[in-house]
C-alpha cells in the first residue's frame, strides 16, 4: 500500500510547484502591493501555528521570491568614477 503524500504539492513536479509559487507571488503583489511580503509571512505563520509546516515552507519561498523581485526592480546601477 502506498503512503499518501502529506500535501498536494508533493504530487506535483518541481516545475508545477514553481509555477504555483510564482502565481502566489504575483497574486499577492497585485492584491497587497508593497505589503505582499508581510502577507506571505503572515500566511507562513498561520500555517506553522496550525501544524501545516509544508505550507509554511511554501509561503516562506513565496516571501523570498517577493523580496528577490523587489530587489531586482530597485537595484540601481552603481557607477564608480
Is 51 contained in some domain? yes
Residue 22 inside a domain? The answer is no
CA distances from 36 to 29, 33, 60 (A): 5, 6, 12
Query: How far is CA 46 from each of CA 2, 43, 66, 71, 79, rounded to the nearest angstrom?
Result: 30, 5, 19, 26, 43
Q: pLDDT tens across 42-80, in order?
A: 999 999 999 999 999 999 999 999 999 887 776 666 666
In a domain, 27, yes or no: no
In a domain, residue 56? The reply is yes
Task: Output the pTM of the full model.
Answer: 0.72
55's grid cell: 505550507
Residue located via cell numbers 516571501 = 63
Residue 42 belongs to some domain of the structure: yes
Where in the sequence is the domain holding 64, given as residue range(s)?
A: 32-72
On whether residue 63 sits in a domain, the answer given is yes
pLDDT tens track for 5-35: 555 555 678 888 889 999 999 999 999 999 9
Amino acid at each position: 500500500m502506498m503512503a499518501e503524500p502529506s500535501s498536494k504539492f508533493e504530487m506535483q513536479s518541481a516545475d508545477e510547484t514553481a509555477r504555483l509559487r510564482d502565481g502566489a507571488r504575483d497574486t499577492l503583489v497585485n492584491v497587497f502591493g508593497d505589503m505582499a511580503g508581510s502577507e506571505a509571512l503572515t500566511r507562513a505563520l498561520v500555517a506553522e501555528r496550525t501544524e501545516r509546516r509544508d505550507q509554511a515552507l511554501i509561503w516562506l519561498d513565496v516571501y523570498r521570491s517577493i523580496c528577490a523581485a523587489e530587489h531586482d526592480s530597485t537595484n540601481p546601477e552603481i557607477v564608480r568614477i
